[in-house]
Amino acid sequence: MFCPSCGTLAFPDSKGHIKCPNYKCGYDGDASNVVKTADGGEIDLSKTMSSSKVQSRKYEVINDADNMRGVLTNGDYICPKCDKREVFSYLEQTRASDEPETRMLTCKSCKHGWREY
């Protein structure tokens, strides 16, 4: 609700009575939907319309979990599932920027994936 005298945002009570928060205005009375403009005219807020146009978006889900990503290392890591030493590894920032990166690991043989924090 807006003050009918100055147009300041005001909150009416349960009976529709408002007290303007603008100390220069000092309006105290019933709330109406008419606001005075700077040039002396009036705007009836009950006749104004607001609209927003909804835009549809096209979303595409990319599933690349099966792809081997990262650098192939030999001997640096051991797969916990098959005990092989050929592992793809890369770093990814999974938490806040002040936290260290997470090393994502994928076994070349069994395609088992795990992480190191």
At 72, phi and psi to the nearest 5? Answer: -80, 120
Where in the chain is CATH 2.20.25.10? 71-116
The residue among 37, 36, 33, 7 whose CA lies nearest residue 20 is 7
Residue 48: pLDDT band (50, 70, 90) is low
- State the pLDDT confidence band at 62, using cuts at 50, 70 and 90: low
The strand pair at 102-107 and 113-116 is best described as antiparallel
Would you mind telling me the total number of residues written for the chain in this entry? 117
Residue that is written with structure tokens 């005298």 in the block = 5
pTM: 0.42
Residue 66 has pLDDT above 80, yes or no: no
At 69-97, the pLDDT tens digits run: 788 888 889 999 999 999 888 888 888 88
Please tell me the distance from the alpha carbon of residue 117 to that of residue 101, in angstroms, as a whole number. 7
Identity of residue 72: L
CA gap 55, 73 in Å, rounded: 47
Amino acid at 87: V
- The fold adopted by the segment(s) 71-116 is N-terminal domain of TfIIb (2.20.25)
